[in-house]
Amino acid sequence: MVGEIEVKDVVQTFVQPDGELLTALNHVDLHIEAGSFVSFIGPSGCGKTTLLRLIAGLAKPVSGELLLDNEKIEKPSHERGLVFQNPTLFPWLNIYDNVAFGLKARKIFNEKKGDVTEYLKLVGLENFAKAYPHQLSGGMAQRASLARALIGHPKVLLLDEPLGALDAFTRMNMQDELLRIKSEKNMTMVMVTHDVDEALYLSDKIVVMSPRPAKIEDIIDVDLYRPRARNNPEFLHLRSKILKTLNYAGAQPEQDYNI
């Protein structure tokens, strides 16, 4: 199985406008198993998205290294699909062309164009291929973003709070969609979220990060059968454990709901 990620002694710093050096990640080590669903959770500004961007290849660490299937990550690649909080669809293109954009950019559209219809079906948008982004609901637009990221057949799907802008019911439906897609495609998924319940519902492991300069405070195995009931006693026990860890780290989660 492909999609194994290694983060080895990674340090990341930024220079602030006043010239002060800010350490975002402080000697972080992490192993993500191929085919697993892992969530990063922690206080705002703790380095969750910074770590995700490093895995995506959008930035390079000051020191340390990141590997995907034993190959060093040095730049963005279709092997690591990325979905942001906002859909970031091209407004001048219809949904079909948005999803096909990556194939055209890589000049493989002619031999792979059948994939566009396949992935539109995968996310339930086969009847909206000719629609434009402004004609879709938030949840539908995010489905289109998922299709665009998935069509490159990535080894890893990286999710930067992709459900944060959705209403509670759409968000829960999209959580189930992510699990369905993961099951069908058998890929590694890594998500940044502020929502403890969401992390517990989706994840095999939850990486709890400390305030900046971030280190890994705890890694929690979520050994619960799927589909998961949010009122299951073990679910609530793990929820309490994560909240205690966050409190110990000196921060409260920004967002939490229990439906």
Q: What are the structural domains of the chain?
A: 1-75+188-259 (3.40.50.300)
pTM of the model: 0.91
Return the pLDDT at 66: 98
- Per-residue pLDDT, averaged over 26-40, amounts to 97
Higher-pLDDT residue of 254 and 29 is 29
Distance set, CA 151 to CA 36, 72, 199 (Å): 19, 23, 25
Average of per-residue pLDDT values in the chain? 92
CB atoms within 10 A of CB 251: 18
The model's pLDDT over 79-104, given as tens digits with 9 standing for 90+, comes to 999 999 888 899 999 999 999 999 99
Return the pLDDT at 249: 43
- 20-31 as b/e: b if 16+ CB within 10 A: eeeebbbebebe
The model's confidence at residue 46, banded by pLDDT at 50, 70 and 90, is confident
pLDDT of 192 strictly over 80: yes
Q: How many residues does the chain have?
A: 259
Question: In whole angstroms, what is the distance from residue 227 CA to residue 167 CA?
Answer: 21
Which residue has tokens 């305030």? 211
Which residue has tokens 């001048």? 92
pLDDT of 259 strictly over 70: no
The model's confidence at residue 258, banded by pLDDT at 50, 70 and 90, is very low
- Per-residue pLDDT, averaged over 65-72, amounts to 97
Question: In whole angstroms, what is the distance from residue 29 CA to residue 75 CA?
Answer: 20
Return the pLDDT at 90: 96
Contact 87, 145 (CB under 8 A): yes
Least trusted range by pLDDT, from 67-81, 125-139, 161-175: 161-175
pLDDT of 166 strictly over 50: yes
The model's confidence at residue 254, banded by pLDDT at 50, 70 and 90, is very low
